[in-house]
Amino acid sequence: MSVLTLREAPPERLDFLNITPLSLSKLTEIEAARLPVGTSRRGLTLGDCFSVALDGSDTLVIEGGSERLDRVGAALSEGTIRIAGDVGQRLGEGMAGGTLTVEGSAGPFAGSGAIGGTITIEGDAGDHAGGAVYAARAGLDGATLVIRGRAGDHLGDRMRRGLLVAGAAGRHAGARMIAGTIAALAVGDHPGLGMRRGTLLVGRHGAMSPTFVETGSHDLVFLRLLARTLRGVSAAHADLAAGALRRYSGDLATIGKGELWAAA
């Protein structure tokens, strides 16, 4: 288990794109300490902010986080990263595989464009969790993103594939979804606005867009499969999927092949 220990709060935003167990496994501690992570002219290196202890394993622990730690686990393809603290924007952006766990909270755009692996945020997530960044093709794209706490607005915006589970979310959850599945115990106003396909499973919800129409209650095999899948992630979400649900179809402003299941 390799360990990076934060010495003091970073003086600027740091970019952790190139800090993965795989990239560190081939380096000595002195070489790793020279990796650039700063985003200003000062040219901060990993060793300037963290003490570095490497053992060549596929597990990396970051002791002490900061909301200024951007792109942690972005481009992770194998191995494990655990952060004992908070992270900044774009956690696990474009991640292809492996396991990424944040014990604190994450900034915006967590899991954006991630195609594989599992991201778990024990605390809260910022806006656009599982959502697409500017000009990107899609948000969450095949990975599993679990947010134990509360997510901000635009959860899963333009999500394309994969599973997104959140304790609660703000407004416009599942906006412009291309496909995929989102489950949240509570969401704010206008969930699924502009969604094309995909499944939204929600407990409490705010105002519904007039472009969603109720299509009754159904007993579908899909819901039992969904409940079984969710059981391994969160019991509360699995219970929601197994309980009484009303189905809405939408968003009728688009091709309208999406569905929203709300607790009856």
Partner 1 sequence: MGAWVKGGATDAGTAIEAAASLLAAARAPVVAGLSADLAAVRAAFHLAAASGASLDTAGAAGTYAELGALSRTGAMTTTPAEAVGRADLVLVVGQAPWRNPLLERLAAAGPSRGRAAGAARGLVALGGPPGAAADAYAVDPGGLAVSLAHLRAFAKGHLAGDAPYADLARRLYAAQFGVALYDPAEIGEMGVEMLQGLVKEIDETTRFFALAVSGAAGQDRAVVQLSAWTTGQAPRVGFGRGLPEHDPWRFDAARQAAAGESDAALWLSALPSPRPDWLDIVPTVALVGAGSPEAAAETAEIVIAVAVPGESADGVLWNEGRAALTYHAAASAGAGAPSAAEVLGRIRDRLTEQKGA
Binding site for partner 1 (CB under 8 A): 11-13, 38-42, 67-68, 70, 89, 108-109, 133-135, 158, 172, 175-176, 189-190, 193-194, 207, 209-211, 213, 251-254, 256
As a whole number of angstroms, the distance between CA 50 and CA 148 comes to 28
- Least separation in angstroms between CB 222 and partner 1: 23
Contact predicate 181/237, CB 8 Å: no
In the bound state with partner 1, the residue whose beta carbon lies nearer, of 26 and 41, is: 41
Structure tokens at 147: 């947010």
In the bound state with partner 1, the residue whose beta carbon lies nearer, of 11 and 243, is: 11
- Least separation in angstroms between CB 75 and partner 1: 16
- Residue 25 exposed, middle or buried by CB count within 10 Å (0-12, 13-18, 19+): middle
In the bound state with partner 1, the residue whose beta carbon lies nearer, of 177 and 238, is: 177
In the bound state with partner 1, the residue whose beta carbon lies nearer, of 98 and 188, is: 188
In the bound state with partner 1, the residue whose beta carbon lies nearer, of 142 and 188, is: 188
- Least separation in angstroms between CB 227 and partner 1: 30
Residues 6+ apart with CB under 8 A from 183: 163, 164, 165, 166, 200, 201, 202, 226, 230, 234, 237, 240, 241
- Residue 116 exposed, middle or buried by CB count within 10 Å (0-12, 13-18, 19+): middle
Phi first, then psi: what are they for 226, rounded to 5°? -65, -45
Q: Please count the other Cβ atoms lying within 10 Å of the Cβ belonging to residue 58.
A: 17
* DSSP secondary structure string for all residues of 70-113: ESTTTT--SSEEEEES---S-TTTT--SSEEEESS-B-SSTTTT
Phi first, then psi: what are they for 237, rounded to 5°? -70, -35
- Least separation in angstroms between CB 209 and partner 1: 5
In the bound state with partner 1, the residue whose beta carbon lies nearer, of 151 and 165, is: 151
- Least separation in angstroms between CB 219 and partner 1: 26
- Least separation in angstroms between CB 17 and partner 1: 12
